[in-house]
Amino acid sequence: MTAAAPPTRRRSWRAVDAAAGGLALDLLLYAVSAGFAAITAYTSTLLPHRAWGGTAAIGYLVAALAVTAQLLIHRRDPRSPLAGLPARWAVTAFAWATATLLPLVRQSVERATGRTDRAQEEVLVVEHAGTRLVEHGTPYLGHDAIAALPPDERLLGYTPYQPGMAVFGLPRAVATGWWTDARVWFAVGTALALALAVTALRARAGRVPATGRPAAPEISGDLPARRGAALLRGVQAATVLPICALTLATGGDDLPVLALCLLALSLAAAGRPGRAGVAVGLAGALKLFAWPVALVLVVWGLTRRAGIRVAAGAVGLPVAALLPVLLVDRDALVENVLRFPLGHGLVTSPAQSPFPGHLIATGLPGGRLIAAALLVVVGTAIAVRLARRPPRTAAATALICGYGLLAAIALMPSTRFGYLLYPLALLAWAPALRDTEDAGDPTRETAEPAHSGNWPAVTPGRA
- Determine the average pLDDT of the residues in 384-395: 95
Residues 122 and 165 sit within 8 Å (Cβ to Cβ): no
Residue 110 CA, distance from chain mean position: 27
The pLDDT of residue 162 is 96
Residue 452 has pLDDT above 60, yes or no: no
pLDDT in tens, 335-383: 999 888 877 888 887 777 788 888 888 888 888 888 888 889 999 999 9
Strand, helix or coil for residue 410: helix
Lowest-pLDDT choice from 84-93, 212-221, 222-231, 384-393: 212-221
The pLDDT of residue 355 is 83
Residues 449 and 390 sit within 8 Å (Cβ to Cβ): no
CA angle 346, 159, 124 (to 5 degrees): 110
Spell out the domain ranges in the chain: 17-118, 119-440
Residues 161 and 286 sit within 8 Å (Cβ to Cβ): yes
- What integer best gives the mean pLDDT of the chain? 87
Name which of 62, 70, 64, 87 is nearest 20 in CA terms: 70
Q: Is 192 exposed, middle or buried (0-12, 13-18, 19+ CB in 10 A)?
A: middle
pLDDT in tens, 404-440: 999 999 988 877 888 999 999 999 999 999 988 876 5
CA atoms of 379 and 405, how far apart (whole Å):
10
Q: Hey, which of 225-229, 243-247, 378-382 has the most confident mean pLDDT?
A: 243-247
Q: What's the predicted TM-score (pTM) here? A: 0.90
The pLDDT of residue 170 is 97
Residue 217 has pLDDT above 60, yes or no: no
Residue 290 has pLDDT above 70, yes or no: yes
CA atoms of 160 and 87, how far apart (whole Å):
41
Whole-number percent of the chain with pLDDT over 90 = 71
Residue 457 has pLDDT above 70, yes or no: no
Q: Taking the CA atoms of the chain, what radius of gyration do you get in angstroms?
A: 23
The pLDDT of residue 203 is 84
The pLDDT of residue 362 is 82
In Å, what is the CA distance from 167 to each residue of 125, 218, 219, 244?
12, 42, 40, 21
Percent helix, strand, coil in the chain, to 5, is 70, 0, 30
Residue 72 CA, distance from chain mean position: 34
- Determine the average pLDDT of the residues in 78-86: 91
Sequence-distant (6+) residues with CB within 8 A of 54 are 37, 41
Which residue did the predictor score with more confidence, 462 or 288? 288
CA atoms of 90 and 96, how far apart (whole Å):
10
pLDDT in tens, 30-60: 999 999 999 999 999 999 999 999 999 999 9
The pLDDT of residue 118 is 94
Q: Sign of the CA dihedral 267, 268, 274, 278?
A: positive
The pLDDT of residue 462 is 44
CA atoms of 333 and 100, how far apart (whole Å):
33
Which amino acid is it at 232?
A: L
- How many alpha carbons fall within 13 Å on the CB side of residue 416? 14
pLDDT band at 445 (very low <50, low <70, confident <90, very high): very low
